[in-house]
């Protein structure tokens, strides 16, 4: 059971999330997509605070989301807590396996919101990983552009992008949206371009 399945606690945590946002001087922006299934990008990702604010936004918007996180965070005693919050441990060494398993989860569920940080880490990397795109394209679901803009202290939902199988063209649309959005540590921000580190899983 996750926190999203516990109605009373979920309501209390939503009020706490609203309080955290208000005390930190943040506001939310955009509307939650009225879609049953999609991949949502969590970007930019440069700080551990990103996870806290992303969780706050999930509760504020009443978003029953599964958040991909590095598996190292799931060691005792934090592992059970993160799972209860709806987080999913990811072994980045098996990227193609993660893509295939994520696509399978979408095919098995009528409703699923999967949060993926495209940089894969809060450290600076040269390129975004393409796993989020291959998951969405393989599952036939849209990509929602979620964001945390530390310059304006605003987080929320941006446009919805339906992947067409043309990675370069679709990434051009995504890059245009994130061009003016700043992470907590701008020098750690990854270039919003793709790296050929993840290929689509084989059919069958």
Domains and CATH numbers, the chain: 3-188 (3.40.50)
Task: Give the lowest-confidence range in 136-140, 144-148, 197-201.
Answer: 197-201
- Cα–Cα distance measured from residue 164 to residue 8, given in angstroms and rounded to the nearest whole number: 41
Tokens 């036939």 -> residue: 140
Q: What is the mean pLDDT of residues 116-145?
A: 79
CA 108-105-5 angle, to 5 degrees, is: 85
HSE-CB for 62 with a 13 A CA cutoff: 6
Tokens of 62: 């009443």
Tokens 């309501």 -> residue: 11
Higher pLDDT, 202 or 9: 9
Q: Is pLDDT of 21 > 80? A: yes
Q: Is pLDDT of 202 > 90? A: no
Q: What is the mean pLDDT of residues 85-106?
A: 77
Q: First and final CA of the chain: distance in angstroms?
A: 32
Question: What backbone torsions phi and psi does residue 129 show, to the nearest 5 degrees?
Answer: -80, 155
Neighbouring C-beta atoms of residue 57, cutoff 10 Å: 27
Task: Return the SS3 of 182.
Answer: coil
Q: What is the CA radius of gyration of the chain?
A: 16
CA 104-54-192 angle, to 5 degrees, is: 75
Neighbouring C-beta atoms of residue 125, cutoff 10 Å: 18
Q: What is the mean pLDDT of residues 59-65?
A: 90
Q: Is pLDDT of 17 > 50? A: yes
Q: Is pLDDT of 145 > 80? A: yes
Question: What backbone torsions phi and psi does residue 166 show, to the nearest 5 degrees?
Answer: -100, 95
pLDDT tier at 190 (50, 70, 90 boundaries)? low
The mean of the pLDDT values for the chain is 82
Q: What is the pLDDT of residues 86-95, one digit of tens each?
A: 777 776 665 6
Tokens of 161: 């992008």
Which strands, in side-by-side order, build the sheet including 112-116? Answer: 27-29, 154-161, 143-149, 37-43, 112-116, 65-70, 87-90
Cis peptide before 133 (omega within 30 of 0): no
In the prediction, which pLDDT does 151 show? 94
Q: What is the mean pLDDT of residues 165-182?
A: 91
Q: Is pLDDT of 198 > 60? A: no
Higher pLDDT, 123 or 172: 172
- Looking at 63-166, list the stretches that DSSP marks H as alpha helix, in order from N- to C-terminal side: 78-84, 95-108, 131-139
- Cα–Cα distance measured from residue 80 to residue 64, given in angstroms and rounded to the nearest whole number: 18
């Amino acid at each position: 059971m996750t926190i999203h399945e516990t109605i009373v606690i979920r309501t209390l945590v939503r009020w706490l999330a609203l309080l955290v946002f208000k005390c930190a001087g943040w506001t939310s922006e955009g509307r939650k997509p009225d879609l049953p299934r999609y991949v949502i990008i969590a970007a930019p990702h440069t700080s551990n605070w990103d996870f806290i604010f992303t969780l706050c936004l999930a509760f504020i918007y009443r978003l029953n989301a599964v958040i991909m996180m590095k598996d190292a965070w799931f060691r005792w005693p934090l592992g059970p807590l993160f799972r209860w919050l709806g987080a999913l441990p990811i072994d980045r060494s098996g990227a193609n396996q993660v893509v295939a398993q994520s696509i399978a989860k979408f095919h098995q569920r009528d409703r699923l919101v999967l949060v993926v940080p495209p940089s894969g880490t809060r450290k600076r990397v040269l390129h975004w990983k393409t796993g989020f795109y291959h998951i969405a394209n393989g599952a036939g679901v849209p990509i929602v552009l979620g964001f945390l803009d530390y310059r304006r202290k605003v987080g929320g939902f941006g446009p919805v992008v339906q992947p067409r199988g043309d990675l370069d063209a679709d990434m051009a649309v995504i890059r245009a949206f994130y061009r003016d959005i700043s992470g907590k540590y701008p020098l750690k921000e990854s270039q919003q371009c793709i790296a050929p580190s993840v290929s689509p899983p084989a059919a069958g």
